[in-house]
Structure 1
Amino acid sequence: MRTYSWEEEIPAHQVLAPDGSVVGEWPESLDDERLRSFYRWMVFARRFDQRALTLHRQGRLGTYAPFSGQEAAQIGSFAALEKTDWVFPSYREVAGMMYHGLPPEMALLFSKGHPDAGKVPAELNMLPGKIVIAAQILHAVGAAWACKQRGEDRVASAFFGDGATSQGDFHEALNFAAVFRVPAVFFCQNNQFAISVPVTRQMATPTVAQKAVAYGIEGIRVDGNDVVAVYAAMCRAVARARAGGGPTLVEAVTYRQGPHTTADDPRRYRDPQVHQTWVEALDPIRRLRLCLERRGAWDEAAESAWIREADERIAAAVERAESYPAPDAAEVLFGHVYAEPTPALAAQRAGFLAEQAEGGANGWPGAR
């Protein structure tokens, strides 16, 4: 493994140039049909994201964390994982989580504050999106260590943003994973900002990937808006972990086109010219479509047909989310604290139910 000095920037690996031309080594396992699948999912995710923002503005969805601009980083990385692998996402991995099997309506329930949003389908070894920054990285290491102890052919992957690398949990997780050579992959979506704090104010090193050197593990830096390069890098990291080679830190250099959340105004801290370049010239969906068109694998008719189908699926997901039964407030607040309720908890529940009986509602905001 090549090592780097602290001031030396690791170049970002690239396969597709912004104009869709191939400038790097093409993965042997990636054919046109798989590439079209990536594109369909990226378009679906972008339109889902746009619809979610509209729902928020209409008062039909709570605080939401958009991910437009990061579709290639998410789809390309999740595509390298098996359903049997463990996935530990942050709150912004909605595109990848849906690709991996999470029903879209569950992603909407998350922003509606419904407790059932945390009930990931049993067939998925995936945890709910973590809001506590960097906490899921430690969880992934624990799962990876368990897989190694049990002799299971599984990999645990943690997904996080550049801001998480400023948390102690990130460093503790990488150190433990390196010492015990657990089958883990740490995937950082460097979208340039931790809310309003730019990467240059978070760390003195030029890249996230080179932080791997301090822990004696492999670091890979990739163009996060190039879905082919992301897929190739993640496949390499996953294969290495599965073969017993230990963990890898992957940095996908991308850009969050929208706000940090719907409570944020990015115009207050972003350079408009830089923003325009990322949104127009470096957009990951545009790049992949140009590539597909060059290969004769996509055209305007296919685009129109897929947009119609994607919008229909999203509309159905919205309907399912909005018709989802409201939870029982008493059960949510008191039912999962102790296996057997204490006298004090039972008294609190009884008081709560009496108040709700007087108010004529079950106490859940969406039920009034």
Structure 2
Amino acid sequence: MSTKLSRSSASKAVQPEKVMFPGARDSYFTSQFGFTAGEGQGLPTFRAMDANGRLCEGGPTEEELGITKEMALRLYREMVQLNTLDVIMYEAQRQGRISFYMTSYGEESLIGSASSLRPEDVVFGQYREAGVLLYRGFTLREFMDQCYGSVGDSGKGRQMPVHFGSARLNFHTISSPLTTQLPQAAGAAYALKRESSEEGRVAMCYFGEGAASEGDFHAALNMAATLGCPTIFYCRNNGFAISTPSTEQYVGDGIASRGIGYGIETIRVDGNDVWAVKYATEKARKMALGDDGKGSPRPVLIEALTYRIGHHSTSDDSSAYRSKEEVEDWRRKDDPMTRLRRFLESRDWWNAEEETALRDETRKAVLSEFSQAEKRAKPPISDLFTDVYDELTPALKEQQQEMERLVREYPEYYQSVREHQGSENV
């Protein structure tokens, strides 16, 4: 009798007791003392296509990935256009023709994420989302007008180059301060959720791993998680925040592990694999809207591991903190465009002649818009004072009058202004 009681007691003893405190819902008591530091194997990285352009065995099928010849060619052409735009505009800045520029070298597969969004979805970018805009229909002329601050710029020349925005394409204007777009995206997604539209819309928010070191990152993820906001947080973890390598930014397992900490469904993908990026974004969008059959609208975090081939911007010299050999090694062994081109060639969807023709055609198109942009007029100086108040305040009127006086009094310093705008706009 005593033996049976002992066994029964032992059986009951091994059942862990669930914690009932409201602060943690899925914890159990243990008598084993120990701190947790997240050590051990890191989260896996999803890949659909290897560096040689071959689809991975055991992964999603071509049909599941949404691969068609038309889609593959479009993605590749957009990558080439982005790369060509970057080459020409980077050199333009070096020649002093524009003040600033940022390239997307090595991160062109980001375009795959744009292919899984809907036009009505709103996008919050950081610095390297020009490819997303290209895919959504931002024209070369619009790129040039923004970088040159010409009269055709929807921002009226009041933003730094590459700070793009387009109300037509539901792309919120990029701002220089780091990470501000994350809480904005969470808030916008909450507003979209309250719209209760039939189709549903998500807020897509892009940022780098450096932005994840800012406080706004944590506020945004927690807000989105607790309010069930249909936000897709897309982290481009390219290894460097300006001049700071990721090894000096954090000790934990990348950025993906932080999403899990906030109770957000998370995936890490090969950011150089356009099919993995496309597929992950497609699934994330369904999850964000609650269309996956597993719940209501909620945020999703995608961490895309990649490598920044170019400098952070034209204000940066990356050779000061990494070797040129390291950069060239990455360019040679795993370039997103090369990977996709190999995929196309393996299916006889592309050849050397088509490659040469595309490169020549794209370069001519970019250079044509480039030369025209330099000749276009600048916005009137009056635009410096508008769009803040419904009516100009007395202080702004005084500043405007002072500016007009200076232009008239010192015409030699404002000659280019007068030539571009005409005296009636000054």
Of 82, 94, 97 in structure 2, the residue corresponding to residue 60 of structure 1 is 97
For residue 32 of structure 1, what is the aligned residue in structure 2?
69
The separation in 2 between residues aligned to 1:366 and 1:38, in whole angstroms, is: 40
TM-score normalized with structure 2 length: 0.81
- Supply the AA of the counterpart residue of 1:280: R
For residue 102 of structure 1, what is the aligned residue in structure 2?
138
For residue 261 of structure 2, what is the aligned residue in structure 1?
214
The separation in 1 between residues aligned to 2:418 and 2:336, in whole angstroms, is: 40
Of 208, 213, 218 in structure 2, the residue corresponding to residue 161 of structure 1 is 208
1:85-164 correspondence runs (5 A)? 85-113=121-149, 116-118=153-155, 120-152=165-197, 153-164=200-211
1:51-84 C-alpha deviation (Å, 9 max, x unpaired): 1111112221211111111001x21111111100
For residue 271 of structure 1, what is the aligned residue in structure 2?
323
1:116-139 C-alpha deviation (Å, 9 max, x unpaired): 353744431111223211111111
The separation in 1 between residues aligned to 2:367 and 2:187, in whole angstroms, is: 38
Uncovered stretches (5+) of structure 2, i.e. residues with no partner:
1-35, 157-164, 420-426
Q: 1:78 to 1:37 in 2, by over 3 A?
A: same
- Supply the AA of the counterpart residue of 1:21: R
Of 255, 270, 276 in structure 2, the residue corresponding to residue 223 of structure 1 is 270
Q: 1:128 to 1:316 in 2, by over 3 A?
A: farther
Uncovered stretches (5+) of structure 1, i.e. residues with no partner:
none
Of 385, 390, 394 in structure 2, the residue corresponding to residue 339 of structure 1 is 390
The separation in 1 between residues aligned to 2:387 and 2:128, in whole angstroms, is: 27
Helix, strand or coil for the counterpart of 2:363? helix
For residue 51 of structure 1, what is the aligned residue in structure 2?
88
Helix, strand or coil for the counterpart of 1:264? coil
Total equivalences in the alignment:
363
The separation in 2 between residues aligned to 1:327 and 1:361, in whole angstroms, is: 19
For residue 116 of structure 2, what is the aligned residue in structure 1?
80
- Supply the AA of the counterpart residue of 1:30: I
Q: 1:335 to 1:315 in 2, by over 3 A?
A: same
Of 228, 234, 240 in structure 2, the residue corresponding to residue 181 of structure 1 is 228
Shift of 1:364: 9.1
In 2, are the aligned partners of 1:227 and 1:284 still within 8 Å (CA)? yes
In 2, are the aligned partners of 1:12 and 1:222 still within 8 Å (CA)? yes
- Supply the AA of the counterpart residue of 1:50: V
In 1, are the aligned partners of 2:111 and 2:135 still within 8 Å (CA)? yes
For residue 357 of structure 1, what is the aligned residue in structure 2?
408
- Supply the AA of the counterpart residue of 2:114: F
In 2, are the aligned partners of 1:217 and 1:248 still within 8 Å (CA)? yes
The separation in 1 between residues aligned to 2:179 and 2:314, in whole angstroms, is: 21
For residue 292 of structure 1, what is the aligned residue in structure 2?
344
Helix, strand or coil for the counterpart of 2:337? helix
- Supply the AA of the counterpart residue of 1:345: L
The separation in 1 between residues aligned to 2:249 and 2:385, in whole angstroms, is: 40
Shift of 1:219: 1.1
1:205-264 C-alpha deviation (Å, 9 max, x unpaired): 122111111110111101101101110111111111122341111011111111111111
- Supply the AA of the counterpart residue of 1:222: V
- Supply the AA of the counterpart residue of 1:196: S
Shift of 1:306: 1.2
In 2, are the aligned partners of 1:209 and 1:221 still within 8 Å (CA)? yes
- Supply the AA of the counterpart residue of 1:212: G
- Corresponding position: 1:6 with 2:66: no
- Corresponding position: 1:232 with 2:279: yes
Shift of 1:156: 0.5
Larger deviation, residues 133-142 vs 314-323:
314-323
Greater percentage in helix = 1
In 2, are the aligned partners of 1:327 and 1:364 still within 8 Å (CA)? no
Larger deviation, residues 126-135 vs 291-300:
126-135
Shift of 1:145: 0.4
Helix, strand or coil for the counterpart of 1:298? coil
The separation in 1 between residues aligned to 2:417 and 2:99, in whole angstroms, is: 11
- Corresponding position: 1:249 with 2:301: yes
The separation in 1 between residues aligned to 2:142 and 2:105, in whole angstroms, is: 19
Of 294, 305, 313 in structure 2, the residue corresponding to residue 261 of structure 1 is 313
1:319-338 correspondence runs (5 A)? 319-329=371-381, 331-338=382-389
Identity of aligned residues (%): 36
In 1, are the aligned partners of 2:193 and 2:297 still within 8 Å (CA)? no
- Supply the AA of the counterpart residue of 1:160: F
Shift of 1:317: 2.4
For residue 423 of structure 2, what is the aligned residue in structure 1?
none
- Supply the AA of the counterpart residue of 2:232: V
The separation in 1 between residues aligned to 2:169 and 2:76, in whole angstroms, is: 23
1:13-28 correspondence runs (5 A)? 13-23=46-56, 24-26=59-61, 27-28=64-65
- Supply the AA of the counterpart residue of 2:326: V
The separation in 1 between residues aligned to 2:167 and 2:325, in whole angstroms, is: 45
Shift of 1:321: 2.4
1:10-66 C-alpha deviation (Å, 9 max, x unpaired): 121111111111113233422121011111111111111111111112221211111
TM-score normalized with structure 1 length: 0.93
Larger deviation, residues 56-65 vs 184-193:
56-65
Helix, strand or coil for the counterpart of 2:171? coil
In 1, are the aligned partners of 2:179 and 2:216 still within 8 Å (CA)? yes
Query: Over alpha carbons, which structure has the higher Rg?
Result: 2
